[in-house]
Structure 1
């Protein structure tokens, strides 16, 4: 499917589900650039895309050893419904030494605040919404 038709399909799903846009291309790009340039590693995240029912990765309840794909994993920006970031990473030091958890939560939240990116924290995760469902008041 070509890019224009895919975008139209995403935008149609956004309209049908009555989602409200929270982030735009500029905000996503600012976040992406800051994460890649400022942080010591790109934090792992779980993503929910508009046209996909499941999340990627499916399981994301514990700290992980890998880093997040902040380039292709967020593209195209208009397709990201939300991401759940765990700004920590497990680093194995050796067989006989317990792994170390590197926590960059403060630095990550600093970026969100600096670029006025709306977020909310829940447990040990930070959620950033591309879209959210409209609610009745």
Structure 2
């Protein structure tokens, strides 16, 4: 992905979705992704402003476009899922992605382009 694609994605996420979805990022010069654990749904939102900059350093991001919202002590938490809206953004801007279970992977650098969905 180039800077233009990353900027389009960033702006669309911040301006059209009800919340910026949480993500795990793997940067080119690091060994492990941040945050280390990202298997379960979380309560926090993603830092789509500074968390991806500089774009050239992003090897991939793993987005879970879902968020747990606590309603109160007596009510069970609510899971808000915006997967359809997020995939709609990816398709609108022709951003290649790979979907696995509840996660969507967007690669800055990959040699396995044949596995990505490009609509």
TM-score range, shorter chain: over 0.9
Aligned partner of 1:74 in structure 2 is 52
Offset at residue 133 of structure 1 (A): 3.3
RMSD, aligned CA: 1.1
CA distance in 2, matches of 1:113, 1:27: 12
Which residue, 21, 24, 27 being the options, matches 1:49? 27
CA distance in 1, matches of 2:23, 2:111: 21
Structure 1: runs of 5 or more not aligned: 1-22
Q: Find the residue that maps to 1:74 and give its secondary structure.
A: coil
CA distance in 2, matches of 1:125, 1:131: 18
Q: Find the residue that maps to 2:60 and give its secondary structure.
A: strand
CA distance in 1, matches of 2:101, 2:14: 24
Q: Find the residue that maps to 1:132 and give its secondary structure.
A: coil
Q: Find the residue that maps to 1:90 and give its secondary structure.
A: strand
CA distance in 2, matches of 1:44, 1:131: 20
TM-score norm. by structure 2 comes to: 0.93
TM-score norm. by structure 1 comes to: 0.81
Structure 2: runs of 5 or more not aligned: 114-119
Offset at residue 134 of structure 1 (A): 6.1
CA distance in 2, matches of 1:45, 1:131: 17
Q: Higher RCO, 1 or 2 (CA under 8 Å, sep at least 6)?
A: 1
1:64-88 per-residue CA deviation (whole Å, 9 max, x = no partner) reads 0000000110000000000000000
- Runs of 4+ in structure 1 deviating by more than 4 angstroms, as ranges, are none
**1:69-108 map, 5 Å:** 69-108=47-86
Larger Rg: 1
Aligned partner of 1:128 in structure 2 is 106
